[in-house]
Amino acid sequence: MVQDPQIGAFSHGQCIQHGQNSDGIHIQGAGKGEQNSFTQIIQQINFEKSSIYVELGKFDAKIKKITSDISELKINEKKHTEWYELTNVRLDSIIDTCDRIESKCQVQNDEMEDLSIFNINYQLKILKYHILEISENTNQFATHLAKINNERKKLKDEIIANVEQIHKNYEPHMPRHSTPLTEERISVKGSLTPLLGENVISAKDIPKLEEWPTFSGEGEYNHIEFIRTIDMLQEDFNIPDEIIVGKLQCLFTKTAKKWY
């Protein structure tokens, strides 16, 4: 506790009056001059004590300030610790969110991959269906082609048989025995003209090539109609077999012409 110098002086005066100093020491037989000197010393001591108390008060204030600063530092440290922990929690939350997003992306990638595989399988099924359809059509075409080949072979055999029959039934118009030439007829132009028999016809009486039927060999039964028409022409115009055989090259078209 800081002592006031005036109070100390007052106490000292009281002590002098009672024959004591301010420290309770009795001064006996002291003169007036000595007492004044001693009083000044006591006052000086009290003043220095007061200065010491003031310095102690200042030092105490500094200690309180330091204590307050330490408390504030502890509070700040606690705040920093809480902030650090909160930051770590937030970072952990961000990392967890990133992991969840990555997991969802992986799931979506798997789903997209499955969808892509499904689309590929679907396209493969469609392609397989078309391949089977083409294969079936090819088999049908092969069957139809085999049928056509059989018809062609049958027609070829019939034509060969008819040609052989024509050659077998063919009788030459030349006489079988030699007859001496008795007379030569000279035409107006000076060319030789043979004698005409009853079976010989003029070329003007034979129908033109445009009026004859044609045969392609690509139908199923049109060869029957072709043969009937040829027979009818031969019968109506009395056309020799060799003339008909000579016109076959012009009457056959397409496949029949290739066969011929």
194 contacts: CB under 8 Å, gap ≥ 6? none
- Gap between the Cα atoms of 143 and 151, Å rounded: 12
Q: What is the pTM of this model?
A: 0.26
Q: What is the pLDDT of residue 170?
A: 52
- Gap between the Cα atoms of 252 and 259, Å rounded: 9
Q: What is the pLDDT of residue 31?
A: 63
Q: What is the pLDDT of residue 16?
A: 40
**Helices 32-169 and 222-237: crossing angle, nearest 10°?**
30
Gyration radius of the chain over CA positions: 75
Q: What is the pLDDT of residue 200?
A: 55
Tell me the residue type at 55: E
Query: What DSSP assignment string belongs to the chain?
Result: -PPPHHHHHHHHHHHHHTTB-TTS-B--S--HHHHHHHHHHHHHHHHHHHHHHHHHHHHHHHHHHHHHHHHHHHHHHHHHHHHHHHHHHHHHHHHHHHHHHHHHHHHHHHHHHHHHHHHHHHHHHHHHHHHHHHHHHHHHHHHHHHHHHHHHHHHHHHHHHHHHHHHHH---SS-SS--------B-TTS-B-PPP-SS---GGGSPPGGGS--B-S-SSSHHHHHHHHHHHHHHHHT--HHHHHHHHHHHB-HHHHHH-
- Gap between the Cα atoms of 100 and 121, Å rounded: 31
**Domain positions in the chain:** 5-68, 202-260
Q: What is the pLDDT of residue 24?
A: 47
All residue ranges of the chain with pLDDT < 70 are: 1-32, 164, 166-203, 220-221
- Residue 224 token pair: 């029957």
Q: What is the pLDDT of residue 17?
A: 40
- Residue 205 token pair: 């009486």
